[in-house]
Amino acid sequence: MRIMKRCDCIRKLLSVAAAILISLSMTAQKGWYRDKTDPMPVVNPDKTVTFRYYAPGADTVQVNGDFLSEKERPALMKNNGNGLWEFTTSAPVQPEIYTYSYIVDNQKVLDPLNMFVWRNISDLYNIFIIPGERTDNYQIKDVPHGTVSAVWYNSPSLQMNRRMVVYTPAGYEKGRGKYPVLYLLHGMGGDETAWLDFGRAAQILDNLIAQGKAEPMIVVMPNGNPSQEAAPLENSNGYNLPLFYLPKTMDGTFEESFKDIVSYVDKTYRTVRKKSGRAIAGLSMGGFHSLYISANYPELFGAVGLFSPAVSVQEEFKDNNIYRDIDLKWKAQMEKNPPLYWIGIGKVDPLYNDVASLRKKFDLCKYPYTYLESEGSHVWTCWRIYLEEFSQLLFK
C-alpha cells in the first residue's frame, strides 16, 4: 500500500523543525528546541539560582524580580567574556513562585529560554518556582480537579456583556447538590484572569478541598473594571493595548453593578442562595470593592475577606451612594448577624497605615474581625497565602 509507506511526511516535518533549530541555535547557549527539559533559570543543588542571558553586544545586563530583596534589585549580571551574562543569587532562594525579567541596556526583556510567562496587569513576566511546603498547594497534583470556565453574562447596570471566570469544584457536573460561592476580586489594572495565574486560585481550591480543609465551593472571578468587557485580547477592542488606569474602577460603578453578577451566578449555577452561602474577598482594589459591596448589601455576604485592601475613597467620589454614610452601613452590617470578617496585610505594604486606621475604627466600635499581619508587601506572595487562609474558614 503506497500510502502506508514509511512516514516521509513526518520526516519532512521533522526536517523543517530541524532547520528552524539550526537557524535559531548558536554556540554560546541552548536554543529553544534543544534541551527543552532543562528549566531556566537553573536551581542549583544548594538552592541558589543561576540566571544566564546571551547578549554579546550589550553594555549592561541586569536581572530583576521578586526573588531579590528591594535593595538588591535589579542585580547586575557579569559578562563571562563570550557574550553570556551570568548571575547567581548570594543565598538559597526560599520555596515560592517568583517572577523575573532581564534588563538589557535599560530595556526590559523576557527570558528567551523560559516559555513560562504570565501577564500581570499589562505586563509580562517569566516565572520560576522553588518547590517546597509553601508552594505545595500552588501545584497541580493528582487530586480531583474543578472546572475553570470563562463565562459571559449580561450586566443591565453597565449595559454590557462581560466576561468572568468561574471555578466549579470537582464533582459539580455530576452532582445535584447546591454549592456556596466565593466571589474573588482582582486589584487595580488586573482582570478576570488574575486570580487564575498569579493567584493559583484553582490549584489552591482543588488541593484544599481534596485535603478536606476547605468546603467544596464555587469561586467566581469577575472583571472589576466596569469600562472593560473582558481581559485584553478577550474583548471587542481586539488587539489594542489596554490602559493601565482604567476609568470608573473606584467610583462606585462596579460596586453598584455587582448585583448583576450575583444574580447571574444564582440563576446559572446550583448555589446556596442565602447569606451563609456567599463570601466576597479581593486584593487591593478588590479588597476596596469587597469592603464597600459587603457594607452596602449586608444581607448578601456571610463572609468578607480584605487582602491588602485599599480603604480610602477619593475626595471627588465620597458622596457617591456606595461610599457615603459608611459608618452607618458598617453599624448595620456588624451589629446584626455580622459576617466572618477577615483582614490580611503585609508588614511593609504601602497600604498598611490605611488598614491600621480601619482596624482602629473597628476596634473602637467592637466590630469583630480576624486579622493576619504577614511578612511582605503589596504582592501576590501575600495574596495566595491569604486565599489559602481565608478559604479554609468559609461555609463551615
Q: Which residues inside 313-342 make contact with a copy of itself, applying CB under 8 A?
A: 313-315, 318, 323, 326-327
**Binds a copy of itself (CB under 8 A): choice among 93, 170, 372, 379:** 170
Residue 345 binding a copy of itself, by CB under 8 A: no
Q: Which of 242, 263, 273, 389 is the binder for a copy of itself (CB under 8 A)?
A: 242
Nearer to a copy of itself by Cβ, of 64 and 276: the residue is: 64
Does residue 268 belong to the site contacting a copy of itself (CB under 8 A)?
yes
Show contacts with a copy of itself in window 105-124 (CB under 8 A).
Answer: 105-110, 112, 114-117, 119, 122-124
Report d(CA 19, CA 34) in Å as an integer. 12
- Return d(Cα 154, Cα 74) in angstroms, integer: 44
Instruction: Report in angstroms how near the CB of residue 323 gets to a copy of itself at its nearest.
Output: 8
Asked whether the bond before 339 is cis by omega within 30 degrees of 0, the reply is: no
Cα separation, 282 vs 266, whole angstroms: 20
Contacts of 54 (CB under 8 A, 6+ apart): 26, 28, 29, 83, 84, 85, 112
Measured in degrees and rounded to the nearest 5, phi and psi for residue 108 equal -70, 130
The least distance separating a copy of itself from the CB of residue 161, rounded to whole angstroms, comes to 7
By beta-carbon proximity to a copy of itself, the closer residue of 127 and 393 is 127
Question: Among residues 93, 129, 300, 379, which is the contact residue for a copy of itself, using CB under 8 A?
Answer: 129
Binding-site size for a copy of itself (CB under 8 A) equals 106
Q: With beta carbons less than 8 A apart as the criterion, state whether 378 and 284 touch.
A: yes
Other C-beta atoms closer than 10 Å to the C-beta of 281 total 30
Quote the least distance from Cβ 396 to a copy of itself, whole Å. Answer: 26
Q: Which residues contact 178 (CB under 8 A, 6 or more apart)?
A: 270, 271, 272, 273, 277
Amino acid at 386: Y
Report the interhelical angle of 380-391 vs 201-210 (nearest 10°): 30
Greatest CA span in the chain, whole angstroms?
87
Binding flag, residue 211, a copy of itself (CB under 8 A): no
* Site for a copy of itself contains 266 (CB under 8 A): no
> At closest approach, how far in Å is the CB of 16 from a copy of itself?
6
Question: What's phi and psi for 290, nearest 5 deg?
Answer: -65, -40
Q: Which of 302, 304, 278 is nearest to 290 (CA)?
A: 304
- How many angstroms separate the CA atoms of 137 and 2, rounded? 53
Minimum Å gap between C-beta 8 and a copy of itself is: 7
Regarding 47 and contact with a copy of itself (CB under 8 A), the answer is: no
- For a copy of itself, the closer of residues 56 and 92 by Cβ is 56
307 is written with which cell numbers?
487582602
Query: Does residue 46 belong to the site contacting a copy of itself (CB under 8 A)?
Result: no
Q: Write each residue from 269 to 288 as x if it is in contact with a copy of itself (CB under 8 A), else as -, in one continuous string.
A: ---------------x----
β 61-65/49-54 pair status: unpaired
x-marked contacts with a copy of itself along 133-152 as a string, rule CB under 8 A: ------xxxx-xx-xxxxxx
Candidate residues 243, 328, 348, 365; the one interacting with a copy of itself per rule CB under 8 A: 243
CB of 86 or CB of 276, closer to a copy of itself: 86
Say whether residue 364 binds a copy of itself (CB under 8 A). no
Work out whether 236 is an interface residue with a copy of itself (CB under 8 A).
Answer: yes
Q: Which stretch binds a copy of itself (CB under 8 A): 228-236, 255-263, 271-279, 295-303?
A: 228-236
| From 132, 171, 247, 350, residue interacting with a copy of itself (rule: CB under 8 A) | 350
Backbone angles phi and psi of 84, in degrees to 5: -100, 120
Regarding beta strands 278-283 and 303-307, do their DSSP bridges make them parallel or antiparallel, or are they unpaired? parallel
